[in-house]
Structure 1
């Protein structure tokens, strides 16, 4: 036979069985394939043409795939259905603002309460002041006597003074309770001569009380101090300071307030410091104040 080409065209599908020759050939090849042989990739086109050579004949075969209703056997990639991870949800920003606002509210309420209490306290003090009109007690030194002023063998100076003090309460509705722990002292040019204390007593409204207070003390620089006093006595003017520190409680009607202190200083000028002699007080000036 001479060289000639035979073209064979196969139908798309058998009308009865519905199996194409390509499907039959593929099924037969699947049964004859070795288990170690890798699977063949699926066909990607509806129509595929190839040429088969047999001897001197070339046969062009045109195979058709299954009709368009056949689904592809290619599996989707593994990450086809995987979605990218969602970003973390940021914390709500209003929580910090709420905390700050709550702290600000607490501070504002605390300040308001403190201011209110201060206003109430100031109002009470103002009302009490207007009702009772408190005044500081007055004190005066009426008499000063020296019972002893001697130089000891150890060259220390021993002094014993007697001071008569008049305490005046000028308040009409306020009483004064004199407490323990009072302190009175006599000084000469920043040198302490003697000290003592007031008795414990109650002083009523608009009352005057005369107090006799004994003061005593000892100074180790007796010789120098005695020489300075004798030299000052020749001038006829000896400056002395009487310092007072007295704790008291104020009574407003039947109400007893907290303890306060009466601080004062009386500057005296006397003519002499002779023991058992009459001492004349030439000048006196006293100042007192309250200390909470």
Structure 2
């Protein structure tokens, strides 16, 4: 009986090696990745972005520190100057206020003329006041009835200066509310208020301070309305005026 040779179901490779069988249903690329996997390798973890410190915060703290330092230095210098020189405010008084004209026409127009004399005193032995031009206003119960000005001047140590100015208003139209107030006051006597506004610097030796506002208010002034060509002189219960320094910080005035 003749023996038959059956061929192998798996063909041999061309180079004589037997190919490695892959599991059923698994692609060859997945098998290669499985062989390349290293179980001891650390997994990749993305680094979080580094945060940069804001420079604006540092700038704010620097500016704030400088401002606080300047305020401290100013306070110390002011205290030392006060202890050495004992500064006092200038004193103002209303020496004379004459009214030579005060007419209110039927067409609600005001014509007025005032002659004002103010006395300024510097009580300090070492301080000199440097005044800029001074504006003057006269009001009757809040209604503006006259304006004028004084020239700027240097107020020396222990000095008394007399300031004079005329204030003229001709044919100034008034609103109905102002006319009612003036007519009511003219029947008895005028209640006047004189206000001076300026800026001043203080000089100590060769040192000059910054300019600050100065307001002088003279209240409780009464005067009769003049008749004809004769002028009337106002009377005051207290000839001393209130003096206030006005320091402006941004939008606020203290």
Question: Above 0.5 in TM-score?
Answer: yes
**Where do residues 76-155 of structure 1 align in structure 2 (5 Å cutoff)?**
79=32, 81-83=35-37, 87-91=43-47, 95-96=50-51, 99-100=52-53, 111-151=64-104, 154-155=107-108
Quote the Cα distance in structure 2 between the aligned partners of 1:153 and 1:105. 68
Provide the TM-score with structure 2 as the length reference: 0.70
Between the aligned partners of 1:108 and 1:139, the Cα distance in structure 2 is 45
Q: Is the 8 A contact 1:273 1:279 kept in 2?
A: no
1:73/1:171 Cα in 2 relative to 1: closer, same or farther (>3 Å)? farther
Does the aligned pair in 1 maintain the 2:102–2:110 contact within 8 Å? yes
Q: Which residue of 1 aligns with 2:231?
A: 277
Q: Is the 8 A contact 2:135 2:150 kept in 1?
A: yes
Q: What residue is the counterpart of 2:252 in the other structure?
A: none
- TM-score when normalising by structure 1: 0.62
Match of 1:291 in 2: 246
What CA distance in whole angstroms lies between the structure 2 residues aligned with 1:110 and 1:230? 58
What are the equivalent positions in structure 2 for 1:1-292 lying under 5 Å apart? Answer: 40=11, 73-74=18-19, 79=32, 81-83=35-37, 87-91=43-47, 95-96=50-51, 99-100=52-53, 111-151=64-104, 154-180=107-133, 182-218=134-170, 219-221=172-174, 227-233=183-189, 238-274=190-226, 276-284=230-238, 286-292=241-247
| Structure possessing the higher relative contact order (Cα contacts under 8 Å, 6 or more residues apart) | 2
Report how far residue 169 of structure 1 moved.
Answer: 1.2
Change (3 A) 1:109 1:144: closer
2:98/2:234 contact within 8 Å kept: no
Displacement of 1:265 in angstroms is 1.3
- Closer, same or farther in 2 for the Cα pair 1:75/1:103, shift >3 Å? farther
RMSD: 3.8
* Structure 1 residue 114: Cα displacement: 3.9
| CA drift at 1:243 | 1.4
Q: Give the count of matched residue pairs.
A: 225
- Aligned to 2:76, the other structure's residue is in SS state helix
- 1:230–1:101 CA distance, 2 compared to 1 (3 A): closer
Q: Distance in 2 between matches of 1:229 and 1:205?
A: 42
Deviation of 1:128 after TM superposition, in Å, equals: 2.7
For the 8 Å contact 1:245–1:263, the answer to whether it is kept is yes
Q: What is the alpha-carbon distance in structure 2 between the residues aligned to residue 230 and residue 102 of structure 1?
A: 67
Q: Deviations over 1:13-61 (max 9, x none)?
A: xxxxxxxxxxxx9xxx99xxxxxxx96268xxxxxxxxxxxxxxxxxxx
Question: For the structure 1 residues 101 and 194, does the alpha-carbon distance in structure 2 shift closer, same or farther, using more than 3 Å as the test?
Answer: closer
| Cα drift, residue 137 of structure 1 | 1.1
C-alpha spacing 1:239/1:132, structure 2 compared with 1 (3 Å): same
Deviations along 1:142-177, whole A, 9 cap, x unmatched?
111123223458451211100110011122222111
